[in-house]
Structure 1
């Protein structure tokens, strides 16, 4: 990285625009930045850092409010612009922080947003904008430099105070600084990751142990009183816990099986005792049953003896009922005849009560003759009934004519109302048809405009895409050209270096006694030796191959760019310069109008159909109105005919009605009289017939009772039983006989007779003894089942515990491995002799590199007296591996850097800063740092030491570096010829640049 030019405006103490030409200052190799205290020397370095990273270095970062100069005019913008070359690219970075400016209109101020510009100066195409984003600019610069802001401030803006503190700091402070510079967060992350894995593995092992202990408790609960064995005394995480749990489980299973064997023996004994008790209970129960049977039979025999008289009465009653059964048919006929005669007599009385007074005492023949006369008169009224029905029909027809007349009037009014608005309706429908036709015409016109507009929009979008692709292709071409140029220079440099060392390459092929290919001599007393940086033919050819590949890439990039530019030109010719957004809006407007017109035009067919339907309806309404007028004339003629027929029928009906109001009333009167006379005649004949049948039934009943042995028919009726009484009596007789037979059979049984002579049985005591035996057997069976279930449960839990222990084995092995690695990385393991953490180990290696690089310059500054060495020893309780000592060549002893004097501390810290810059630069990918700044500390040196320090700094020019010294020391103004002076004043500071010959 080389700085070329810095332009500052309204920044810090600088009120106006100040420009610094670093190219002129760097030409001398060493330049001085000096000025009065508070003039703004450090602000120059702040401006460099702000331009690169967008913030101030160190403790001044985050103070954007102080970036703007208090001396600047209100309308002057705060701005920092830096030109530099990094990674072979010349860049220009411009940053403007937010600032308050006066409003262009009115009073007051407004806030301008922060802005950034990143440009690249191409020697072929001139300046080119790369980015206007703060984030993109910062990311691009960080990638090119390969350093963060903190690293840049440590290796480019060398703050001597920080390195003096670094020399005297403890291991923790050194670790923090080195950690920021070398970004060892990934190693700390490895430590944390290992610690996290250890905690996770430990948690998994503990969870497995917890599950094993839980299973042990469950097995203990399952074992119950069957196993007298305490649980193993262990905690989760204890080594060997799984083995102790499995051993305890084996002992528990053995105890449970022993308990099961005892339970089986006790169950068998209880079952045998229960069988004996049950056999004894069965015998007692049988004896008790037989004794009860004998006692019951004796009681039943006594009951039969007490009911013997009642049984004889039932037998006599059954005999009389059998005799009366022969008289039953005659009794039935007599009862039926009596009932029929009573019913017929009652019906005759009712029928005669309804007859006219003139026929009340007539016989059956007289009543029949009167009924026939009424029916003959009724037949003569049929003509009058037809006339009456016709009058009713005439009324209905006349009502129908009235209804038709009303309906036709409604139809006539509706047709007239519809026809009154016909002209307006027809005009509206015609307007609708014309509007749809106009919309169809407009849709066709817009469809013709839509397709060209869509093509133009597609071309515009392709134009914008090709423009972005062209910009990327231009950047790719610039990169390809840069790589091709670098490869070409590399090949030429290697070729030149090989030509310079060609003598050594030829000398390598010389053989003693063989002639030289150049001079022909056969003796080769002093052939040229190859040095360490010798370039052979293979290296040159490799560089040539790289150069040719880079040229091919450049040609391909040029071809790609030419194709894109041609396509872009074609797209621009077709789309023009109008933005795609505006074209898209136009297309959407045309498309919306086209859709609207199509929507309106889609109703053309419907509008035409509606007009045609309306015209057909108009013709229909005219026809309806004409038809209703014709029907009205026909109805008037029909109404006159109906009136004439009605007069004729009314005259005929008056003769048939007589004194009653209607023919129907007269007809009803005659029908009722004929029916009453007919009913009276039939009732009189029925009464006469039933009286004859009753007389015959009474004579037959008296004869049947005498033959059956009864004195009177009433005696036979009393002895007769109905079916239910007969069944009940027969049931009592049969039951008495069956009971007598059963009792005699029981009393004749030998077992029953024997049981009756034995002592009374005690079934309750036998049941108590059996219940006691059953409880003992049930308890024994339950105990056996519990023991069996205990064995099964212990076997199951033991299998689960064994599976858990097997699964826990790899987890415990993984935990031990991860725990060992975590302890080793954290410095807590016994294998880590120095108790050094992984991050500290990496930082110790970096510190060793820094000490080695710093010692090269420290020996020159101190007259080959001092050398910095790295120490792995621990200081007190702090971390080990970050010790830093100085070796004094005069005494040959190693001592702490805190024992150096002020001047010695300065050049030691300067050497450390330069060494750190070299190491960080290599760590960042080998980015060249061609411009360095050293801030203060020179006032503590004597003249001789100052000369030695300046010689070391001046030697940096051999590596094409320029060093800027920031100091108040007046003697440096005499010794350093290139100077940049910062002069402060009331209106702000200014810079003065001078280079003396």
Structure 2
């Protein structure tokens, strides 16, 4: 990377436009950037960093980049032209800035802008590449191969940082090297291993917890069976699995022994119970037989007492069997008598309805009279149809009259409504037009109302922000005054400290050690601190106070800019009109808009009313036309009905005779035919049933005589119904069964023999059997409990064994991951130097940096000093990032913190240059043709300064240039190419002098 040209406008202390030609400065290979304190030397380097990365180095971020000396209308801009990776680029950056409005008063904020262009050599022109901040940043970072932090350490070599690096501890060095070499992936590996260790440990502990839970379940299942206690180990303790399995084996073997004992006891109680059950069974059998014999004797006595009643029942059953032969004749006679009574009653009722002429007529005469009346009824069927048609014609004439009256009403109503139609339609059209005009006015007023309300809101916000702006301006003024006072105080203290710096240096002098300023080993008259001496701590405190005050000033200015921007936006929208006037205008527009919307709301109702009226007009007109057509057709229909009516009335007059109508005549004939037919049928049925009754009486008398009964009534009394017959038969059968059962029991030999034995003692036998059964149940319960205990212990033991086998690979994984994590974290005993993985990688990088720095340090120190990396432990801490210096004069190795001021300078310079080489190689070997070295030359004597300049001058090899940032006066004589920064009341300016 080579810098060509830098343009600065309104940036930092530079109020106007400044240009730096690095090509002219680099021609000499070594150039000087100098100027008084606070002139802006570092701001030139800040501009380079801002052009490349869009931000300044970390220690100076957060403040405003715009110059306080710049005119209000001048935009802050930094433009850098450089060559990187064989491409000539131009980067332009404009940070956000607050400028006056082009119209009206106040200010507005412009957004940040960036441009990237590339020079096209064949065409001799610049080509635009991008205007995106993100794209430009990614392109520059990719081309340079390093981040902003790396660039600031490698290209802008801050000597103070490396002096602190030499004196820092391992942790501070690790932070710096970690930022430069991006070793976050190794820290991520450490973290990942630690997480895996925690996860594996959690899983192992969880598995051990389950194993212990199963062990406690086994202890609970075993009860007091095992005297050996559970192992007193916690989850994760080594040997837990073996101890649990060993205890489980003891519990299982003891449980099986108890089960064998319980099984033997159960077998003994089963034998005792079987013997007691046999004795009880024999006693119960003897008692049963004795009871059976006594019961049979009692039953025989009861049969003897009921013998007379049994003989009577047998005789009653015999008479009932004889009477069953007469039962069909009795049933036939009862049926015939019932039928005859019903037929005689029906005949009497039918003859009561006949005229007197047919009172004594037989069935034949009644049937002939019915046939004659039916013939006359058939002759009236045609007249009945004509009479029904005449009734229908009368109804049709009535319907025509009703329709005529309805059509007359329709015609009259339609004619009256149609007469008013034109006036109704005109009124509705007027309503619609009025509502449409109101809707148009409402839309126009809505367009005016919304901007008016927006202007009113903006005016109210404008009034509020005006007061906020005044408050913010007061705070900014107070913050600026405070920052200026703090800066003045700090500069005063710094100047006082510089005047008394000799006393500070003298305080560290030791007889025999070389002075850091003059190199003498004798110190006859060292400077003494005077009253009111300002030390480094007081200066740092004042600097910190100034930085805090400056941060408060920047924050107050930022807040003022935000308030001003909001005020400008509100003023631009609201204008200069008073808020009260805008409120009245908005209220008036709102009222007029509401009135117009109210008037326009009737548009839909008026439109619907017109639509309904037009529909009604069409309906009324159609109804009027249809009523007129129906009237014409009714006239023809009425004439036809009149002709049909006259013809039918002549025909009916002949058919009616003396009756009022044909229907009445036909009804009289129908009633007569029905009455005569029913009477004839009833007379025939009565004659038939009388004959069947006589035949049934003769058959019954003959059947009773043959069955042995004197009269039919005697046979009827001997009959039994089904229920009585079944009951009598049941009693006879029960007697026979009981008699047979008693004889069988009394004839049994075993029963008779048992009756002669003493009474059986069943109660004693039952008590003995119950005792034996209880003992057997207790033994079975004990055996079952022992079996369940064995089963449960076996199940839990298998589960514990499976858990142990499952946890085996997991425990091995945990031990392996734990060893790796401890080794990577530096806590393992195998890691003798307690070096973390990231520290190990950084130690390798530090070793490379020390080797690259030694090549230049030996030349600067005339071969006296060599930088070496040390991985020795310091105290109880960890090792890996130690840095020592070897003094060739004494042959001793000591810590870099013991170097003097001048030695520290060229050691830190050599370290910075070595770090630049290593980081450059790490970034992909990007060539850095332009380097800057910041301060620190004031602590060198003439000889050392010459040696340092020779080393820097050697960097010009292969067209490399080095810029020295310093205010040491002696360098102005030694370095001819110079860039001077001169400060003034209107801002700083740059003056350039080439090496020629």
The equivalences for 1:766-805 within 5 A come to: 766-767=765-766, 769-805=768-804
Q: Give yes or no for contact 1:868–1:885 (8 Å, CA) kept in 2.
A: yes
> Structure 1 residues 731 and 142 mapped into 2: Cα distance closer, same or farther (>3 Å)?
same
Q: After superposition, what is the alpha-carbon deviation per residue over 1:809-832, rounded to whole angstroms, capped at 9, x for unaligned?
A: 332222222222222221111122
> Structure 1 residues 189 and 698 mapped into 2: Cα distance closer, same or farther (>3 Å)?
closer
Residue in 2 that maps onto 1:958: 957
- Residue 39 of structure 2 is aligned to residue 42 of structure 1: no
Counterpart among 65, 79, 82 of residue 80 in structure 2 = 82
Describe the SS at the equivalent of 1:158.
Answer: strand
Work out the CA distance in 2 between the residues paired with 1:775 and 1:637.
Answer: 118
Residue in 1 that maps onto 2:13: 13
The equivalences for 1:3-402 within 5 A come to: 3-63=3-63, 66-125=64-123, 126-224=125-223, 227-322=226-321, 324-325=323-324, 328=327, 331-332=330-331, 335-336=334-335, 338-356=337-355, 362-365=359-362, 369=365, 372-373=368-369, 375-377=371-373, 379-393=375-389, 396=392
> Structure 1 residues 690 and 194 mapped into 2: Cα distance closer, same or farther (>3 Å)?
closer
- Gaps of at least 5 residues in structure 1 are 418-623
Q: Give yes or no for contact 1:101–1:112 (8 Å, CA) kept in 2.
A: yes
Q: CA deviation at 1:102?
A: 2.3
Q: CA deviation at 1:12?
A: 0.5
Work out the CA distance in 1 between the residues paired with 2:711 and 2:995.
Answer: 183
Q: CA deviation at 1:334?
A: 5.2
Describe the SS at the equivalent of 2:757.
Answer: coil
Q: After superposition, what is the alpha-carbon deviation per residue over 1:840-883, rounded to whole angstroms, capped at 9, x for unaligned?
A: 22222222332333233333333433333332222233332222
Describe the SS at the equivalent of 1:831.
Answer: coil
Work out the CA distance in 1 between the residues paired with 2:947 and 2:68.
Answer: 42
> Structure 1 residues 940 and 372 mapped into 2: Cα distance closer, same or farther (>3 Å)?
same
Q: Give yes or no for contact 1:378–1:667 (8 Å, CA) kept in 2.
A: no
> Structure 1 residues 322 and 983 mapped into 2: Cα distance closer, same or farther (>3 Å)?
closer
- Residue 650 of structure 2 is aligned to residue 648 of structure 1: yes
- Gaps of at least 5 residues in structure 2 are 415-625
Residue in 1 that maps onto 2:428: none
- Residue 812 of structure 2 is aligned to residue 816 of structure 1: no
Q: After superposition, what is the alpha-carbon deviation per residue over 1:943-975, rounded to whole angstroms, capped at 9, x for unaligned?
A: 333233223222322353222121222222222
Q: After superposition, what is the alpha-carbon deviation per residue over 1:674-693, rounded to whole angstroms, capped at 9, x for unaligned?
A: 55456556656766776677
Work out the CA distance in 2 between the residues paired with 1:355 and 1:752.
Answer: 89
Describe the SS at the equivalent of 1:380.
Answer: helix
Q: CA deviation at 1:5?
A: 0.8
Residue in 2 that maps onto 1:974: 973
Q: Give yes or no for contact 2:386–2:652 (8 Å, CA) kept in 1.
A: no
Q: TM-score, normalised by structure 1?
A: 0.71
Work out the CA distance in 1 between the residues paired with 2:684 and 2:366.
Answer: 16
Q: CA deviation at 1:405?
A: 13
Work out the CA distance in 2 between the residues paired with 1:306 and 1:228.
Answer: 81
Q: After superposition, what is the alpha-carbon deviation per residue over 1:894-953, rounded to whole angstroms, capped at 9, x for unaligned?
A: 333333332232222222222222222222222222222121222222333323322322
The equivalences for 1:441-590 within 5 A come to: none
Q: CA deviation at 1:9?
A: 0.6
Residue in 1 that maps onto 2:585: none
Q: CA deviation at 1:331?
A: 4.7
Q: CA deviation at 1:89?
A: 2.0
> Structure 1 residues 108 and 345 mapped into 2: Cα distance closer, same or farther (>3 Å)?
same
> Structure 1 residues 316 and 932 mapped into 2: Cα distance closer, same or farther (>3 Å)?
same
> Structure 1 residues 783 and 926 mapped into 2: Cα distance closer, same or farther (>3 Å)?
same
Give the paired residue count.
Answer: 778
Work out the CA distance in 2 between the residues paired with 1:985 and 1:255.
Answer: 102
Describe the SS at the equivalent of 1:17.
Answer: strand
Describe the SS at the equivalent of 2:668.
Answer: helix
Q: TM-score, normalised by structure 2?
A: 0.71
Q: Give yes or no for contact 2:977–2:995 (8 Å, CA) kept in 1.
A: yes
Residue in 1 that maps onto 2:875: 876
Residue in 2 that maps onto 1:991: 990
Work out the CA distance in 2 between the residues paired with 1:762 and 1:661.
Answer: 111
Work out the CA distance in 1 between the residues paired with 2:950 and 2:717.
Answer: 168
> Structure 1 residues 400 and 752 mapped into 2: Cα distance closer, same or farther (>3 Å)?
farther
Work out the CA distance in 1 between the residues paired with 2:387 and 2:668.
Answer: 21
Residue in 1 that maps onto 2:2: 2
Q: After superposition, what is the alpha-carbon deviation per residue over 1:563-611, rounded to whole angstroms, capped at 9, x for unaligned?
A: xxxxxxxxxxxxxxxxxxxxxxxxxxxxxxxxxxxxxxxxxxxxxxxxx
> Structure 1 residues 688 and 959 mapped into 2: Cα distance closer, same or farther (>3 Å)?
closer
Describe the SS at the equivalent of 1:958.
Answer: coil
Q: Give yes or no for contact 2:256–2:790 (8 Å, CA) kept in 1.
A: yes
Work out the CA distance in 1 between the residues paired with 2:360 and 2:765.
Answer: 96
- Residue 665 of structure 2 is aligned to residue 666 of structure 1: yes
Describe the SS at the equivalent of 1:6.
Answer: strand
Q: Give yes or no for contact 1:34–1:979 (8 Å, CA) kept in 2.
A: yes
Work out the CA distance in 1 between the residues paired with 2:832 and 2:698.
Answer: 150
Work out the CA distance in 2 between the residues paired with 1:794 and 1:16.
Answer: 93
Work out the CA distance in 2 between the residues paired with 1:76 and 1:155.
Answer: 33
Structure 1 stretch displaced more, 976-985 or 775-784? 775-784
Work out the CA distance in 2 between the residues paired with 1:929 and 1:686.
Answer: 147
> Structure 1 residues 651 and 784 mapped into 2: Cα distance closer, same or farther (>3 Å)?
same
Q: CA deviation at 1:20?
A: 0.3
> Structure 1 residues 921 and 265 mapped into 2: Cα distance closer, same or farther (>3 Å)?
same
Q: Give yes or no for contact 2:373–2:673 (8 Å, CA) kept in 1.
A: no
Residue in 1 that maps onto 2:546: none
Describe the SS at the equivalent of 2:993.
Answer: strand
> Structure 1 residues 368 and 168 mapped into 2: Cα distance closer, same or farther (>3 Å)?
same
Work out the CA distance in 2 between the residues paired with 1:749 and 1:781.
Answer: 43
Q: CA deviation at 1:176?
A: 1.3
Q: CA deviation at 1:239?
A: 2.1
Work out the CA distance in 1 between the residues paired with 2:684 and 2:961.
Answer: 163
Describe the SS at the equivalent of 2:69.
Answer: coil
Work out the CA distance in 2 between the residues paired with 1:62 and 1:294.
Answer: 125
Describe the SS at the equivalent of 1:867.
Answer: strand
Q: CA deviation at 1:214?
A: 3.2
Work out the CA distance in 2 between the residues paired with 1:682 and 1:85.
Answer: 142
Q: Give yes or no for contact 1:32–1:965 (8 Å, CA) kept in 2.
A: yes
> Structure 1 residues 700 and 206 mapped into 2: Cα distance closer, same or farther (>3 Å)?
closer
Q: Give yes or no for contact 1:364–1:685 (8 Å, CA) kept in 2.
A: no
> Structure 1 residues 716 and 949 mapped into 2: Cα distance closer, same or farther (>3 Å)?
closer
Q: After superposition, what is the alpha-carbon deviation per residue over 1:185-238, rounded to whole angstroms, capped at 9, x for unaligned?
A: 222222222222222232333233233333333444444555554333322222
Work out the CA distance in 2 between the residues paired with 1:239 and 1:97.
Answer: 64
Structure 1 stretch displaced more, 872-881 or 145-154? 872-881
